[in-house]
Structure 1
Amino acid sequence: MSLVVREMAESEVDLVIDYFHASTPEHLELIGVDPARLPRREDWRAYYAFVFQQPLERRETLLLTWLDDERPVGFSSADKISFGQHAHMHLHVTTSDDRRRGLGVEAVRRSVGLYFEQLRLKRLFCEPHAFNAAPNRTLRSAGFRYLKTHVTVPGPLNFRQPVTRWVITRPQKLDS
């Protein structure tokens, strides 16, 4: 495994769009996504074109690509960004063949580092569907701390669902 996590280029946003549009209804339900709420592909591309024109300090979202041997295997996104303060992250391994290979924990750890650096965050939250064991296990293994389980609509693609809220805080730098 030669995992690389980096900021996604605008030309790569179809990785995100295709992931959601190609997912089975069962998979979308597992991750808490309502298929009726998915934007049309061209509308989603137009949205990302707008996002990529914004300076990082004003972006609504930041996308990261996960590559294994230069092949896209997943992605992460941050939204609900309060630059310099906090954001919410999402994590997705894009194909079932790449799940359960041990990529997730390391990809999340590297994503956290990039989010802290790029967005100058103090805290990063993640709220996966409470009944989706894989991301909850991954977050715990990657160093996130459990906060609570509650019912909410986590985002514009989601239906009302129980979610587990996790947080990780930026390590404090030690003075020499």
Structure 2
Amino acid sequence: MLSVRELELRDIPAITDYWLLSDKAHLERMGVNVEKMLSREKWEKMLSEQLRQDYTKKSSYCMIWELDGKAIGHSNVNMIVYGDKAYMHLHIWDQTLRLQGRGLELVKMSLPYFFKNLELKEIYCEPNALNEAPNKTLERVGFTLVKEYTTKPGYLSDEQPVKLWRLGLAEFNELY
């Protein structure tokens, strides 16, 4: 059974391990420049700070994805403008659990938390254009493709082709 919940202190080692121990090919498929990877200490500090922040002050907000009560991944939003918009990311940690359709349901389960708790009007997602899995998932969830272009989508990334997807609150409410 799939479920989602907010990030807890006990989840920080697993998220940190995902970033630090994932194989280089997986990280590069997402557009990550492994030379820019944060240290374990920086990951832990950043994630711990998230737990202490009020929703109105969060710079990142994370939902843990579970399969049968076991954490298997996460979705987070960052570049948050409280009451307006944020940018979503989606990650299944264990490669043996990827590409099986779970992301679709887990994203659908995460979206209400992002929209409600951050009072968002719209959510964007900007995966690497060559990474098929998240792009297919976003389309199936109901996101609309805004454009495809080249940019540096995050602090761990270099310039790369991305697809910018958008889901507004009105569209979300119509779909779900």
| TM-score with structure 2 setting the length | 0.94
Structure 1 residue aligned with 2:53: 54
Other structure's SS at 1:29 match: helix
RMSD value, Cα? 1.4
Give the Å deviation of 1:44: 1.5
Moved more, 155-164 or 124-133: 155-164
Give the Å deviation of 1:5: 1.0
1:28-43 matches, cutoff 5 A: 28-43=27-42
Give the Å deviation of 1:102: 1.6
Give the Å deviation of 1:13: 1.6
Structure 1 residue aligned with 2:119: 120
Other structure's SS at 1:57 match: helix
How far does the alpha carbon of each residue in 1:75-130 deviate from its partner, in whole angstroms, 9 at most, with x for none? Answer: 00100000010000000111111112220101111111110011110000000000
Structure 2 residue aligned with 1:64: 63
Letter of the 1:45 partner, please give it.
Answer: E
- Unaligned runs of at least 5 residues, structure 2: none
| TM-score with structure 1 setting the length | 0.94
Letter of the 1:84 partner, please give it.
Answer: G
Structure 1 residue aligned with 2:147: 148
Q: How far, CA to CA, are the matches of 1:47 and 1:91 in structure 2?
A: 18
Q: How far, CA to CA, are the matches of 1:52 and 1:140 in structure 2?
A: 30
Other structure's SS at 1:171 match: helix
- State whether residues 65 and 73 of structure 2, in contact with CA within 8 Å, keep that contact through their aligned partners in structure 1: yes
Give the Å deviation of 1:15: 2.1
Q: How far, CA to CA, are the matches of 1:166 and 1:140 in structure 2?
A: 8
Structure 2 residue aligned with 1:7: 6
Q: How far, CA to CA, are the matches of 1:116 and 1:4 in structure 2?
A: 17
Other structure's SS at 2:166 match: strand
Letter of the 2:112 partner, please give it.
Answer: G
Q: How far, CA to CA, are the matches of 2:18 and 2:76 in structure 1?
A: 13
- Unaligned runs of at least 5 residues, structure 1: none
Other structure's SS at 2:77 match: strand
Give the Å deviation of 1:63: 0.7
Structure 1 residue aligned with 2:97: 98
Q: How many residues align?
A: 173
Structure 2 residue 26 is matched with structure 1 residue 21: no
How far does the alpha carbon of each residue in 1:113-149 deviate from its partner, in whole angstroms, 9 at most, with x for none? Answer: 1100111100000000000001000000011111001
Give the Å deviation of 1:53: 1.8
Give the Å deviation of 1:16: 1.7
